[in-house]
Amino acid sequence: MLPVFLDHGVLIRCRAGKEFHMKFLDLTLATAEQNLALDEAMLEEAEKGRQPTELLRLWESPRPMVVVGRSSRVACEVDVAACQQMQVPVLRRCSGGAAVVAGPGCLMYAVILSYEKRPCLRMLDQAHGFVLDVMRRAMETILEGVEIQGTSDLTRQGRKFSGNSVRCKRHHLLYHGTILYQFPLPLISQCLTAAPRQPAYRQQRSHDQFVDNFPAGREILRQAIRQAWSAAELISEWPRERVEQLVAERYANESWNRRL
């Protein structure tokens, strides 16, 4: 069944399922900075191409890290002193949203989607709804009861296991997020302050009461996500030079990571 979204009384249908035919990049780079840069570099590459590009990437940070949103104020969302003591880097991504803690036990995904193929995604609420519905259905092939709540969260039994954000360009968008599955959850409350912006369904719960792992193994999750996006074409090429340039200009630069 194709996802259908309602906008100002007009039904808009986005293509989904086997009509994706996406490329698949299975790649974790050596550093947190490189991994964040690669998501942005892939979006730039899609924009430069003459043909609409759609791609799924899966990766997992080899060490804990805090990643704040493009407009996040670090001092409001992160316990900087605790992160320094634990040697957890605080980095800034190119997309919006609030701070997250990731690392081993947290599967990261990113999709590049084309506005030419899916013009309805130009409306941000429909972009959220479209991607999250695909991810929800992927999770439900493993375990039922997954819901979309807040702006861009996936939950089960009222507890969040996935946070997501978006970066929009002229012809494509980058949608990326986290899937907690075997993550040391106490690390979240150790690294982050109380969330300054909270969805109503959170009901002022602490991080420990609000966040949970999705009860599935890493490979099962990877297979479910790849199948949901029909990402059959495995690729190995990626924009190496642009990643290193972005790392030098932004992701390894305190003027970017601590600019707010």
The C-alpha atoms of residue 201 and residue 218 are separated, in whole angstroms, by 27
* 224-251 b/e (C-beta count within 10 Å ≥ 16 → b): bbbebbbbeeeeeeebeebbeebbeebb
Mean pLDDT of the chain: 91
Instruction: Quickly state the pLDDT bin for 259 (edges 50, 70, 90).
Output: confident
- Kindly list the domain boundaries of the chain, sorted by start residue: 19-254
Q: Which one-letter amino acid corresponds to residue 94?
A: C
Instruction: Quickly state the pLDDT bin for 11 (edges 50, 70, 90).
Output: very low
pLDDT digits (tens, 9 = 90+) for 247-258: 999 999 999 998
Asked whether 174 and 37 are in contact (CB, 8 A), the reply is no
Cβ within 8 Å of residue 132, ≥6 positions away: 148, 152, 154, 164
Per the document, the length of the chain is 260
Q: If residue 131 lies in a helix (H) or strand (E), which one and from where to where?
A: helix 124-140
Does the domain formed by 19-254 have CATH 3.90.79.10?
no
Residue of 156, 157, 56, 30 whose CA lies nearest to 110:
56
Mean pLDDT for the stretch of residues 175-190:
98
Instruction: Quickly state the pLDDT bin for 7 (edges 50, 70, 90).
Output: very low
Residue 51's pLDDT is what? 81
Angle in degrees, 0-180, between the axes of helices 218-228 and 124-140, rounded to the nearest 10: 130
Return the SS3 of 156. Answer: strand
